[in-house]
Structure 1
Amino acid sequence: MSLRPAPYDTLIDAETWAFVDASAAHYGEDAAALDVAGQRRLYDGLCRAFDAGRPSGVAVEDSAIAGPAGPIPLRSYMRSSAEPLGIVLYYHGGGYVLGGLDSHDSICAEICATTGYTVISVDYRLAPEHRHPAQFEDALAAFRAIAGASSLPLVLAGDSAGGNLAAAVSWATRTDLLKPAGQVLIYPALGADLTRGTFVTHANAPMLTTADMRLYDELRAGGTPPTGDPSFTPLAADTYAGLPPTLVFTAECDPLSGDGPVYCARITEAGGQARCIEEKGLVHGYLRARHSVARARDSFGRIVDGIAALGRGNWPG
């Protein structure tokens, strides 16, 4: 085993280090020099390597809805043996640059199988070909189309960049008649100051660095990120009143881990329900480790339980 840098030598257990090492093995020394297409090939290969396959009894259907700049592809997951109990609208991670319907396929299928909810994954436009607000516009259009076509409770969920989009959609719809029943954000990028807090203490964390986040933000913005724009930076909002019940799951060893507590505190101060759960010893992207790392498996169980509870109108806090 290679020498582990402090404090991660004690925070991260052997199972999680094995996941980190297996992930790193998909990236060669020249990975940072690759163009966006090359980065996508590597990321897609990484996701395939950790794909667990769909559970039995889950039917899948690809479709599309009209979006502001053309069709938005969707993938729906349904339990074939029972009527759905609710809907989960899922926004995938990948820094707004990577990922798609295949990258989070088994994750969405497992959420469906466990909750009994229909899970709909959104293939929003990616940067840098499509700059902000393209990702937000697609995320919002998908919510409005799906929520408007069903009377079932709808929970927003997403990881990393997808958590950002879910939070932005919750903010944009906070005064609408059609609102999500809740939101579950998994190690979300909510837009805290990159020069402070955990962006300093975990600047060089395994799996995601502060420099990575700065690059993703710049690619999404097409330059300097905007200020005061909650559709880009949910923590830039001037009010948190009206946001749905919120669960945030953060990884302890992640520069983004400081975003969740701040976001949840602002929601509760505005009279809402919000809870942040920090998952000890875990790293960014740990959903891919849910079948190989006990800590990640336990966290995924809590995430799925939280989604199910919010869809039933129960507060799991």
Structure 2
Amino acid sequence: MSKPDYSALLDDEVRAYIARGAEFYPPDAVDLTITQQRAVYDDMCAAFHAPYPEGVRTWDEDYGGVPCRRYEAGTHQVTLIYYHGGGFVVGGLHSHDDVCAELCVRAGVRVISVDYGLAPEVVFPGCYNDAFSALAAISEEFAGPLLMAGDSAGGNLAAAVTHHARAHVAGLVLIYPGLGGDPTKGSYIEHADAPELTTRDMLFYQTIRTGGAVPPKDDPRYAPLQDTNFTGLPPTVIVTAECDPLASDGESYRDEILAAGGRAVWFNEAGLVHGCLRARHVSARGAAFFDRVADAVSTLAKGDWPY
């Protein structure tokens, strides 16, 4: 298989976005210490942080003993629980703060962002336990329909907790999630050396996530694609980036849900890279990607399925 020509696949705006991010978070960031990685990631997030849309209010409060941030812009009947990306190692309430604020307004939902414990201080299944504890407490606090969403590592958590609480979740939106797909085929091979995320990066994050232990097998808390039961899952929208080793996970997950008789749709957006939520204000393709995500949340919040 010939290597992708990223100079042709990515347009000028996306390449400029990648270059801007690299000023803060270098391509070889996994070679830094964990403390250094978090510092440069936080610097990058701050550089791209956008102002809140008008009318958004926030509260920092715990749910299930887990720190969370709640976003409101008016009166909301639907609650979206959001799990941030960052390889289970970096990120937090600050890293996706503006994304959550914009989703609140664009989709017309209450958003609660979950600050689950990060590795290496908290190793699997600690992050899953935090994610599920927050879900359980939030579902008791708010009576309306409950949606789940997350990007990258957060997409893994959103899917994992949904598998264990499927009867209580009205919809699921996954943004370039890592779901434990087959690393020997598809995008894992074609885009192994993609900008922003490589298979080498993924191996590093996996090692830190488990504390160096062998990754568990047949445990959907760790890898939702390892589940043997995909029946009864809520309507699911998966949005991935073409130039990302994780893109095939979206296709595989869609196929599993469809095979089990459920509703799922997968969009693999051309000319984009892992982490492109952050490109939504500097790239037309990034803006269209975020439109896809916001529209999915809004659609599921209304109980519609136009796909």
Q: Is the 8 A contact 2:60 2:67 kept in 1?
A: yes
Q: Is the 8 A contact 1:139 1:165 kept in 2?
A: yes
SS at match of 1:151: coil
Q: Is the 8 A contact 2:4 2:190 kept in 1?
A: no
The percent identity for this pair of structures is: 48
Q: Is the 8 A contact 1:91 1:158 kept in 2?
A: yes
Deviation of 1:6 (Å): 4.2
Q: 1:132 aligns with which of 124, 131, 147?
A: 124
Point out the more displaced range, 192-201 or 280-289. 192-201
Q: 1:96-153 CA distances to partner (integer Å, 9 max, x unpaired)?
A: 0110000000000000111221100000000111110111111111111111222211
Q: 1:295 aligns with which of 265, 285, 300?
A: 285
Match of 1:173 in 2: 165
Report the AA paired with residue 182 of structure 1. G
Q: 1:144 aligns with which of 114, 125, 136?
A: 136
Q: Is the 8 A contact 2:30 2:201 kept in 1?
A: no
Match of 2:225 in 1: 235
Match of 1:210 in 2: 199
Change (3 A) 1:299 1:30: closer
Match of 1:16 in 2: 14
Separation of aligned partners in 2, 1:169 and 1:94: 18
Q: 2:172 aligns with which of 183, 186, 198?
A: 183
Separation of aligned partners in 1, 2:154 and 2:96: 11
Separation of aligned partners in 2, 1:186 and 1:28: 22
Q: 2:145 aligns with which of 141, 150, 153?
A: 153
Count of residue pairs the alignment pairs up: 304
Change (3 A) 1:146 1:32: closer
SS at match of 2:147: strand
Q: 2:40 aligns with which of 28, 39, 42?
A: 42
Deviation of 1:32 (Å): 4.0
Match of 1:120 in 2: 112
Deviation of 1:29 (Å): 8.0
Report the AA paired with residue 16 of structure 1. V
SS at match of 2:69: strand
Separation of aligned partners in 2, 1:261 and 1:33: 31
Match of 1:83 in 2: 75
Deviation of 1:170 (Å): 1.0
Deviation of 1:33 (Å): 3.2
Match of 2:302 in 1: 312
Separation of aligned partners in 1, 2:226 and 2:260: 15
SS at match of 2:296: helix
Q: Is the 8 A contact 2:4 2:191 kept in 1?
A: no
Separation of aligned partners in 1, 2:241 and 2:130: 27
Report the AA paired with residue 138 of structure 1. D
Deviation of 1:316 (Å): 3.0
Match of 1:55 in 2: 53
Q: Is the 8 A contact 2:197 2:245 kept in 1?
A: yes
Point out the more displaced range, 9-18 or 21-30. 21-30
Q: 1:74-97 CA distances to partner (integer Å, 9 max, x unpaired)?
A: 100101xx3113111000000001
Match of 1:199 in 2: 188
Separation of aligned partners in 1, 2:92 and 2:183: 26
- Gapped runs of 5+ residues in structure 1? none
Q: Is the 8 A contact 1:306 1:316 kept in 2?
A: no
User: Is residue 2:214 matched to residue 1:222?
Assistant: no
